């Protein structure tokens, strides 16, 4: 596989460190609020990467943190503590907030077919690991104690900026007014490893440490959690592009100073999902979440397809029209897979090899998911039997995660029931989409009408109306639309 490595800023051949295991680490969510669909773009692409590596035969061990402490609203160790902010907003404890939003995050992931990593570790579980690392950094002169906090001394490094060619002067640009500069720092980029002088008197979570009672900085958690579960080296580290600086830059600084050798070989960054008017936000504009997509009648997997249609290293604009188009494409795709019927024919191995090669070429070139979707259409068009096509589609869908086989089976089943109710009775959606639950209800209404049970038929019509679905009787069927 070829991967664009943000650290070398080149496309490189992927060579794992060990023959028997591939170590992958992903920065997890800060659980102070719902994830927006931008955050989830990153997790979708990372999920495709993990599944493609497994599809290619690697034995992947993937670890992800849950940030439930220490992440301030500004990445520069300034601003408010995000978790405390969430707790205050909802009049709950920090731990209640963490539990609620961690559950919400995994519920979103399940709807998007994002597999849970092998290890999911809350930052608050690993305080001893951070203390061990920070102690060594203090002992070896990479860290210093000032004004009650422990800082990493970036001037001790030969090279600090890994992902960009910033200078300290560049970073002064754009510093928000009203944010007080931390005068304890020896260098502008020094960052906090351990806070004891919390700016937040009411900081709920604190632990004893050799430097006083306090809590860890954000960056140290990913180094600590990765080393706890994956040891002293790492093959691939992923996150959204905003994590490259300062978060990942600081992770490298502290990890390599602690270890005394190179830590992670490949860094992959997913570019942002933006709205028409700019950055996606949890606090202003429409707060785009998976439950909101569902409320508006979209299948979350249509959003997954929307993400797969573009390359992870390009920013992507979200608007409803784009999602409508993805939804139409998704429904058509399911329709085309549903049109294939298993006939028990022998699988055409030559075709399987040729088709898989196309899929592999696509994802193997820096995870080109849109080309992988093209390879999926190639299967539909390929000159081979339908059993072979269904087998290859199922294999591809393990990586793509679009539930194509499951949804196609459901669609075939609905169509069968439809025929059983009345030979020529058709159920169509005005926008060309399909929804097995709605279709089933319409068929039940038709069956009731046929049995002259008009009360039940009316009850079903009213139930659908209450759910925002309007039915129109047409010759030999029913047309439905969302109102």
Give the footprint of ligand AMP on this chain (CB under 6 A).
Answer: 27, 29-30, 38-39, 41-42, 67, 239-240, 242-243, 270, 272-273, 280
Instruction: CB nearer to Zn ion: give 137 or 379.
Output: 137
Torsion of CA 380, 383, 384, 386, to 10 degrees: 40
Q: How far is CA 456 from the centre of its chain?
A: 43
- Establish if 31 lies at the interface with Zn ion (CB under 5 A): no
H or E element that contains 463: helix 454-466
What's the min distance (Å) between Cβ of 78 and ligand AMP? 16
Question: What are the phi and psi torsion angles at 257 (to 5°)?
Answer: -70, -35
| Nearer to ligand AMP among residue 27 and residue 192 (C-beta) | 27
Q: How far apart are CA 39 and CA 28, in angstroms?
A: 10
39 binds, among ligand AMP, Zn ion, none (CB under 5 to 8 A by kind): ligand AMP
Q: Shortest gap between Cβ of 273 and ligand AMP (angstroms)?
A: 4
Backbone angles phi, psi at 39, to 5 degrees: -55, -45
The first and second tokens of residue 5, run together, are: 């490595």
Q: Which does 270 bind (CB under 5 to 8 A by kind): Zn ion, ligand AMP, none?
A: ligand AMP
CB of 75 to Zn ion, least distance (A): 11
* 123 lines the binding site for Zn ion (CB under 5 A): no
d(CA 397, CA 386) in angstroms, rounded, equals: 16
217-225, 270-278, 325-333, 385-393 -> range binding Zn ion (CB under 5 A): 217-225
- Structure token digits, residue 268: 């992959």
Residue 42 touches which member of ligand AMP, Zn ion, none, C-beta under 5-8 Å by kind: ligand AMP
Q: What DSSP string describes 8-47?
A: TTEEEE---S-SS-EEEEE---BTTSPPPHHHHHHHHHHH
Assess 238 for contact with Zn ion (CB under 5 A).
no
Q: Which of 222, 333, 390, 460 binds Zn ion (CB under 5 A)?
A: 222
CB closer to ligand AMP out of 109 and 337: 109
Residue 468: alpha-carbon gap to chain centroid: 30
User: Which lies closer to ligand AMP via its Cβ, residue 142 or residue 318?
Assistant: 318
**Minimal distance in Å, beta carbon 223 to Zn ion?**
8
**Does 253 sit near Zn ion (CB under 5 A)?**
no
Which of ligand AMP, Zn ion, none sits in contact with 217, Cβ below 5 to 8 A by type?
none
| Least Å from the CB of residue 28 to ligand AMP | 7
> In terms of DSSP bridges, do strands 264-270 and 273-275 run parallel, antiparallel, or are they unpaired?
unpaired
Distance CA 424, CA 379 (A): 31
Whichever of 239 and 300 has its CB closer to ligand AMP, that residue is 239
Please state at what angle helix 320-338 crosses helix 369-381, rounded to 10 degrees.
Answer: 30
Q: How many residues form the binding site for Zn ion (CB under 5 A)?
A: 2
Q: Is 347 exposed, middle or buried (0-12, 13-18, 19+ CB in 10 A)?
A: middle
Helix (H) / strand (E) containing 372: helix 369-381
Nearer to ligand AMP, 41 or 156 (CB): 41
Name the residue nearer to ligand AMP (CB basis): 114 or 447: 114
Alpha helix positions (H), 209-348: 218-230, 249-259, 290-295, 300-308, 320-338
* Phi, psi dihedral angles at 261 (to 5 degrees): -155, 175
Q: Which does 272 bind (CB under 5 to 8 A by kind): ligand AMP, Zn ion, none?
A: ligand AMP
CB of 33 to ligand AMP, least distance (A): 8
Query: Please, what is the minimum distance in Å from the beta carbon of residue 74 to ligand AMP?
Result: 12
β partners of residue 398: none
- Scanning 11-19, 216-224, 263-271, 391-399 for contacts with Zn ion by CB under 5 A, the matching segment is 216-224
Closest distance of CB 3 from ligand AMP, Å: 17
SS3 of 126-177: the string is CHHHHHHHHHHHHHCCCEEEECCEEEECHHHCCCCCCCCCCCHHHHHCCCCC
**What single DSSP character describes residue 211?**
T
Specify the residue, 252 or 273, whose C-beta has the smaller distance to ligand AMP.
273
Query: Which of 7, 24, 27, 427: binder of Zn ion (CB under 5 A)?
Result: 27
By beta-carbon proximity to ligand AMP, the closer residue of 71 and 229 is 71
Tell me the residue number closest to ligand AMP, measured at CB. 240
333 binds, among ligand AMP, Zn ion, none (CB under 5 to 8 A by kind): none
- Smallest distance, Å, CB 180 to Zn ion? 25
Which CB atom, from 280 or from 373, has the smaller least distance to ligand AMP? Answer: 280
- Report the partner that residue 222 touches, choosing among ligand AMP, Zn ion, none (CB closer than 5 to 8 A by kind): Zn ion
Residue 386 sits at the vertex; the CA angle it makes with 384 and 391, to the nearest 5 degrees, is 100
Position 264 contacts Zn ion (CB under 5 A):
no
127 binds Zn ion (CB under 5 A): no
Work out how close the CB of 274 gets to ligand AMP at its nearest, in angstroms, rounded to a whole number.
6
CA distance 367 to 128: 37
Using CB under 5 A, list all residues that contact Zn ion. 27, 222
């Amino acid at each position: 596989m070829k991967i664009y490595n943000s650290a070398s800023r080149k496309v490189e051949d992927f060579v794992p460190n060990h023959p028997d295991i591939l170590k992958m680490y992903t920065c997890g969510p800060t659980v102070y609020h719902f994830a927006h669909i931008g955050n989830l773009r990153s997790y979708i692409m990372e999920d495709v990467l993990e599944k493609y590596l497994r599809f290619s035969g690697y034995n992947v061990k993937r670890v992800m943190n849950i940030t439930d402490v220490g992440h301030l609203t500004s990445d520069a160790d300034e601003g408010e503590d995000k978790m405390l902010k969430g707790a205050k907003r909802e009049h709950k404890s920090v731990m209640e907030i963490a539990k609620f939003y961690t559950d919400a995050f995994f519920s979103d992931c399940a709807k998007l077919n994002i597999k849970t990593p092998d290890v999911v570790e809350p930052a608050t579980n690993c305080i001893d690991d951070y203390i061990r690392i920070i102690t060594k950094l203090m002992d070896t002169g990479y860290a210093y104690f000032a004004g009650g906090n422990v800082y990493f001394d970036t001037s001790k490094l030969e090279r600090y900026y890994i992902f960009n060619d910033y200078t300290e002067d560049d970073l002064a640009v754009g510093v928000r007014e009203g944010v007080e500069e931390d005068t304890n720092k020896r260098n502008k980029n020094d960052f906090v490893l351990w806070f004891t002088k919390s700016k937040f008197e009411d900081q709920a979570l604190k632990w004893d440490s050799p430097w006083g009672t306090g809590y860890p900085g954000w960056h140290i958690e990913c180094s600590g959690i990765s080393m706890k579960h994956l040891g002293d080296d790492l093959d691939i580290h992923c996150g959204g592009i905003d994590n490259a600086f300062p978060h990942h830059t600081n992770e490298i600084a502290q990890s390599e100073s602690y270890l005394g050798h190179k830590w992670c070989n490949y860094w992959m960054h997913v570019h942002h999902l933006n709205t028409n008017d700019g950055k996606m936000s949890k606090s202003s504009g429409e707060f785009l979440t998976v439950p909101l997509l569902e409320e508006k009648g979209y299948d979350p997997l249509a959003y997954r397809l929307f993400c797969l249609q573009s390359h992870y290293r390009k920013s992507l604009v979200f608007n409803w029209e784009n999602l409508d188009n993805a939804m139409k494409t998704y429904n058509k795709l399911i329709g085309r897979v549903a049109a294939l019927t298993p006939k028990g024919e022998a699988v055409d191995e030559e075709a399987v090899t040729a088709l898989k090669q196309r899929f592999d070429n696509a994802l193997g070139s820096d995870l080109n998911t849109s080309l992988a979707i093209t390879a999926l259409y190639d299967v539909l068009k390929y000159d081979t039997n339908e059993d072979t096509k269904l087998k290859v589609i199922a294999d591809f869908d393990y990586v793509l995660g679009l539930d194509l086989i499951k949804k196609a089976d459901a669609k075939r089943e609905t169509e069968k029931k439809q025929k059983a109710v009345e030979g020529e009775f058709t159920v169509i959606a005005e926008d060309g989409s399909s929804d097995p639950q709605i279709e089933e209800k319409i068929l039940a209404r038709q069956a009731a009408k046929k049995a002259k049970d008009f009360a039940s038929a009316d009850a079903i019509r009213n139930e659908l109306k209450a759910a925002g679905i309007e039915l129109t009787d047409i010759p030999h069927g029913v047309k439905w639309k969302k109102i």
